[in-house]
A and B are shown apart, each in its own frame.
Chain A
């Protein structure tokens, strides 16, 4: 197993180099250059040339690539053109904001989904089951940015219950991690986007759980428990649900990987200063180091979580073995 893990890890590193290379050249084929954003067209061409030098874009493509890839080996993505700071610093800040939002949404989605799914399997064929499915699928069908807009109009504009924008009230940022994230003001800002994202994600764990429960419930030992007259709730959560969780858990690991990129649109609608929004602006601004860094970090995370999902699956399900 360890052997397998190491082998996969090695392949993963190779992949990251490949993805980085592709991203590097993809950005260089984009028309328009980064100086267009910072240099007013009325400024002489020499200024543009100077900027290109400062950004390290004056050499040949191959030279630029060599610098890029050697820096990457030292986990250095270069300095962001726009912020004039190491891209990795910016990514860290933004990643924290995105992860907090996504993990909160995920906890919400999985709690609702697992219990809801188990319950739906149990109440199979009832009208309430149909209602549950319909509601979860409606939220799955609605684009998060649209639901977000509607929620803002309702809860922020009309009712003024929750703030609509950003992570915190102006001027309250800064300080340690705890000061920044563990306070009521932050929670108030978190609630609306987290619920919108959570409702969207909910359908996946809920339906997987339901199907998986149906599968488990047709197994003999459940029938036996039933025959023995064990309480229904007891059977549901003690026996059936436990065994049905496996696919939900693996789906969860994959989900974390996929959510690193963030719900770009949700971040735009809620002005959430996350990685998703940053990567979009970095790309449109032609801020290569920052955009490349974001891409690579997201890719690495996704690959790593895929690996974890595979390992988890092997670990939880003894029928699968890796030799």
Chain B
């Protein structure tokens, strides 16, 4: 109670002071931080009001928080800035929509395996060709000098020369700061080490990848692995499934000609071998003796049929991998020839490693394959589908006639409504592995292991090559001003994002940082990056760049 009255007195004093202040405020020149005695009218125009779009807290807590922080920092500098959280779909709609109506935003690029190649992060998101509505350059960054290098690295076949170009591109980005990377998240996952051993951790994919199901071994008589997910999976039809986790399961039911090894090298799998006859002709020899889960043999006809089905049905998910194919022919009992329209370097690693082999004897009779429910999916992969209970679980058992040994009897992919439920299930031993990145608090709880509750769990860590950033619309004021962007890079508290919001599980960001350290080969370590949180320095940069503050303390653009 005493506190209240004190507060009230304070409030009264403050109000009185404020009134006094405003009453004689006009004449006084101690209104920091003008630093100039130019009358308002002669200053540049006001820095426009800025809205920072962000995810909702539950979608990405860190982005949500950081977006608020930056808006608050700008307010302190006399800019009318606010953060506006919104649904992810709506956010994408705004960023990729025709109107391009946004000032700034927080979002991220996930570190998928194919993005180890720098083309996506250098070219697709920074080249001016993509700086139009619908394009990936949502920062609207346009720099002819940069464009040239980005194009050159794409054409350069010599890897060391290409590396030089990519390094140079990173230098320009760090200088121009078209966006501000806030942080990268580490892939923290966990599994039950008392029940299972020999898991494989792949960067960007984590524990539940293509290889763990082959390598993992049960240590007890619990021979069925239960994998927890907090993301729903859609359906079991390879032609229509578009969810990431749907595919992570489908690729274990349906086999593929080539699989990418844990070190991302192509490895002949359902294919015995492949032979690049010439630039546009590839021969693939099918492995002998494979059967589908219903006992029918896998033949070259099935392979040809599958690829043609995917092409005919225009499966959007794989469109770019399939367009290079001109025709497919069967040359003998176990050889298929792919004729390409033009040379396509990623044919082996992408096309052959992605398209699943479907049984022709089932799919040729289906009228509308894309709409087919495929409840009893029959493939030739290492696991047979037992049951798919929508929104609950996917149950698979080991396929005994598979050519590679599998040590578990099957696995269950269980879907939870929240990470909280997964942690309880992990603790009680009801699930044995997670398929997603743990929330930072759960990582910490497992690490702290209070009272030995999590003795049976092993944490695994993987670096992510993806990153989360503040994007700015360079078509708009004040982001068209490079110095303003550099000042912005000093307003982001990188340590707060990493140490506080991520509990330290991740990597620091920086202005213009695009290819992160985790991508060792392509990351340029010698580029100076604006990566210190220093609002005072930000103010200095702005002053040097000619930004001024008017009598009401509002920031104004430099006079042109």
* Partner-B contacts on A (CB < 8 A): 31-34, 36-39, 41-48, 50-51, 54, 79, 82-85, 90, 93-94, 152, 156-157, 160, 163-167, 169-171, 173-174, 267-273, 277-278, 281, 284-286
A173: chain B residues within 8 A (beta carbon):
387, 389, 392-393, 395
B320: chain A residues within 8 A (beta carbon):
43-44
| Complex alpha-carbon distance, A209 and B180, angstroms | 63
Q: Decide yes or no whether B6 CB sits under 8 A from chain A.
A: no
Least distance between B499 CB and chain A CB atoms (Å): 28
| Complex alpha-carbon distance, A100 and B529, angstroms | 59
B373: chain A residues within 8 A (beta carbon):
84-85
| Complex alpha-carbon distance, A54 and B239, angstroms | 12
| Complex alpha-carbon distance, A41 and B391, angstroms | 25
A32: chain B residues within 8 A (beta carbon):
87, 89-90, 92-93
Report yes or no: B428 in contact with A160, Cβ–Cβ below 8 A: yes
> Which residues, 219 to 237 on B, are CB-close (under 8 Å) to A?
224, 226, 232, 234-235, 237
| Complex alpha-carbon distance, A33 and B425, angstroms | 35
Of the candidate stretches B18-26, B141-149, B416-424, B506-514, the one touching chain A is B416-424
> Which residues, 335 to 392 on B, are CB-close (under 8 Å) to A?
370-371, 373, 386-387, 389-392
A-B contacts at CB below 8 angstroms, number: 131
A164: chain B residues within 8 A (beta carbon):
421, 424-425, 428
B427: chain A residues within 8 A (beta carbon):
157
Q: Decide yes or no whether B96 CB sits under 8 A from chain A.
A: yes
> Which chain A residue lies CB-closest to B96?
A41
Q: Decide: A42 near B136, CB < 8 A? Known: A33-B93, A156-B424, A268-B418.
A: yes
Report yes or no: B319 in contact with A44, Cβ–Cβ below 8 A: yes
A94: chain B residues within 8 A (beta carbon):
391
A79: chain B residues within 8 A (beta carbon):
371
| 20 new A-B contacts at CB < 8 Å, known A93-B390, A157-B427, A272-B417 | A32-B90, A34-B89, A43-B320, A45-B134, A47-B317, A50-B316, A51-B316, A82-B232, A82-B243, A84-B371, A84-B373, A164-B428, A165-B421, A166-B392, A169-B430, A170-B414, A170-B430, A171-B412, A284-B89, A285-B89
| Complex alpha-carbon distance, A286 and B90, angstroms | 10
A269: chain B residues within 8 A (beta carbon):
417-418
Report yes or no: B424 in contact with A157, Cβ–Cβ below 8 A: yes
Q: Mark B83-99, 1 if CB is under 8 A from A, else 0.
A: 00001111011111000
> Which chain A residue lies CB-closest to B372?
A84
B134: chain A residues within 8 A (beta carbon):
45
| Complex alpha-carbon distance, A171 and B89, angstroms | 33
Report yes or no: A36 in contact with B93, Cβ–Cβ below 8 A: yes
> Which chain A residue lies CB-closest to B120?
A42
Least distance between A39 CB and chain B CB atoms (Å): 7
Report yes or no: A166 in contact with B235, Cβ–Cβ below 8 A: no
| Complex alpha-carbon distance, A84 and B369, angstroms | 11
> Which chain B residue lies CB-closest to A166?
B392
Q: Decide yes or no whether B240 CB sits under 8 A from chain A.
A: yes
Least distance between A278 CB and chain B CB atoms (Å): 7
Report yes or no: A42 in contact with B416, Cβ–Cβ below 8 A: no
A281: chain B residues within 8 A (beta carbon):
232
A165: chain B residues within 8 A (beta carbon):
416-417, 421, 424-425
12 A–B contacts, CB within 8 A, in A order: A32-B87, A41-B136, A43-B316, A46-B316, A50-B314, A50-B316, A51-B316, A82-B234, A170-B226, A171-B412, A277-B417, A286-B89
Least distance between A51 CB and chain B CB atoms (Å): 6
Q: Decide yes or no whether B258 CB sits under 8 A from chain A.
A: no
* Partner-A contacts on B (CB < 8 A): 87-90, 92-96, 120, 124, 134, 136, 224, 226, 232, 234-235, 237, 240-243, 314, 316-317, 319-320, 370-371, 373, 386-387, 389-393, 395, 412, 414, 416-418, 421, 424-425, 427-428, 430-431
> Which chain B residue lies CB-closest to A280?
B417
Name B421's contact: one of A37, A39, A271 (CB within 8 Å).
A271
Report yes or no: B232 in contact with A163, Cβ–Cβ below 8 A: no
| Complex alpha-carbon distance, A53 and B374, angstroms | 21
Report yes or no: A170 in contact with B412, Cβ–Cβ below 8 A: yes
Q: Decide: A31 near B93, CB < 8 A? Known: A54-B370, A171-B412.
A: yes
A46: chain B residues within 8 A (beta carbon):
316, 319
B389: chain A residues within 8 A (beta carbon):
173-174, 273
6 cross-chain pairs, A with B, having the tightest CB-CB distances, nearest first: A32-B89, A47-B316, A271-B417, A165-B421, A38-B242, A36-B89
Report yes or no: B316 in contact with A171, Cβ–Cβ below 8 A: no
> Which chain A residue lies CB-closest to B413?
A170
> Which chain A residue lies CB-closest to B133?
A45
> Which chain B residue lies CB-closest to A43?
B316
> Which chain B residue lies CB-closest to A38?
B242
> Which chain B residue lies CB-closest to A45?
B134
| Complex alpha-carbon distance, A264 and B89, angstroms | 22
Report yes or no: B90 in contact with A31, Cβ–Cβ below 8 A: yes
B414: chain A residues within 8 A (beta carbon):
166, 170
Least distance between B293 CB and chain A CB atoms (Å): 17
B314: chain A residues within 8 A (beta carbon):
50
Least distance between A58 CB and chain B CB atoms (Å): 14
B431: chain A residues within 8 A (beta carbon):
170
| Complex alpha-carbon distance, A166 and B392, angstroms | 8
| Complex alpha-carbon distance, A144 and B95, angstroms | 38
B421: chain A residues within 8 A (beta carbon):
164-166, 270-271
| Complex alpha-carbon distance, A164 and B425, angstroms | 8
Least distance between A162 CB and chain B CB atoms (Å): 11
> Which chain A residue lies CB-closest to B387?
A174
Least distance between B105 CB and chain A CB atoms (Å): 13
| Complex alpha-carbon distance, A83 and B389, angstroms | 11
| Complex alpha-carbon distance, A122 and B518, angstroms | 73
Q: Decide: A267 near B93, CB < 8 A? Known: A83-B390, A156-B424, A164-B424.
A: no
| Complex alpha-carbon distance, A121 and B120, angstroms | 73
> Which chain A residue lies CB-closest to B432?
A170
| Complex alpha-carbon distance, A273 and B415, angstroms | 10
> Which chain A residue lies CB-closest to B93?
A32
Least distance between B384 CB and chain A CB atoms (Å): 14
Name B243's contact: one of A38, A163, A277, A286 (CB within 8 Å).
A38
> Which chain A residue lies CB-closest to B115?
A42
| Complex alpha-carbon distance, A165 and B424, angstroms | 8
Q: Decide: A166 near B395, CB < 8 A? Known: A32-B89, A51-B316.
A: no
Name A84's contact: one of B232, B234, B395, B416 (CB within 8 Å).
B234
Least distance between B11 CB and chain A CB atoms (Å): 33
A43: chain B residues within 8 A (beta carbon):
316-317, 319-320
Name A167's contact: one of B120, B226, B242, B392 (CB within 8 Å).
B392
| Complex alpha-carbon distance, A202 and B247, angstroms | 45
Q: Decide: A170 near B242, CB < 8 A? Known: A32-B87, A45-B134, A83-B235.
A: no
Name A268's contact: one of B386, B395, B417, B428 (CB within 8 Å).
B417
Report yes or no: B87 in contact with A284, Cβ–Cβ below 8 A: yes
A50: chain B residues within 8 A (beta carbon):
314, 316
A36: chain B residues within 8 A (beta carbon):
88-89, 92-93
> Which chain B residue lies CB-closest to A90?
B390
> Which chain A residue lies CB-closest to B386?
A174
A90: chain B residues within 8 A (beta carbon):
390
> Which chain B residue lies CB-closest to A153?
B424
Least distance between A191 CB and chain B CB atoms (Å): 16
B93: chain A residues within 8 A (beta carbon):
31-33, 36
Least distance between A291 CB and chain B CB atoms (Å): 13
